[in-house]
Amino acid sequence: MEELDRRIVGMLAADGRMSFTDLGRALGLSTSAAHQRVRRLEERGVIRGYRALIDHDAAGNPLTALISVTPVDPAAPDDVPDRLRDLTELDSCYSVAGEESYVLQARVAGPLQLEELLARIRAAASVTTHTTVVLSTPWEDRLPPAD
């Protein structure tokens, strides 16, 4: 990826609502040239979309947990992500190497909701779970370097 495209990605990662005019001005490009560059980055899949960053504490889900899952029957089809896709408390699903098959990131209101979610995960996907509760988050969602 060209240096200019890296700068565009970094700037949009920091402020996805930046106008093409402001982006062009910051990069020494015309508005049209900035728009074309961003469109090409989107078409190539470098920029996959834009989203709001949520303060989960303010949204009522202050408890973050990492849930490792292992199939009860290792011979069963590997369809855990499909079985859990509709559980809205789950932010992410990572396929991992090691004893566990997947690590899930969950956001819930409190311990009772986490316990209920774990029961639904076990029932829906026929898995065992190992859960780590996050005490604090010094940083997350790091931005790519702008230069």
| CATH, residue 116 | 3.30.70.920
116's tokens:
């209920």
The verdict on pTM exceeding 0.85 is: no
Residues 36 and 61 in one domain: no
Per-residue pLDDT tens over the stretch 100-139: 999 999 999 999 999 999 999 999 999 999 999 999 999 9
Is the alpha carbon torsion for 84, 61, 116, 106 positive or negative? positive
Residues 113 and 82 in one domain: yes
- State how far the Cα of 104 lies from the Cα of 19, in Å rounded to an integer: 34
Distances (CA, A) of 59 to 24, 55, 63: 34, 6, 11
Residues 77 and 103 in one domain: yes
- State how far the Cα of 29 lies from the Cα of 31, in Å rounded to an integer: 6
C-alpha 105 chain-centroid distance = 9
Helix (H) or strand (E) holding 133: strand 127-133
145 assigned to some structural domain: no
**Residue 95 structural domain:** 57-134
Residues 61 and 33 in one domain: no
Per-residue pLDDT tens over the stretch 63-110: 999 999 999 998 888 999 999 999 999 999 999 999 999 999 999 999
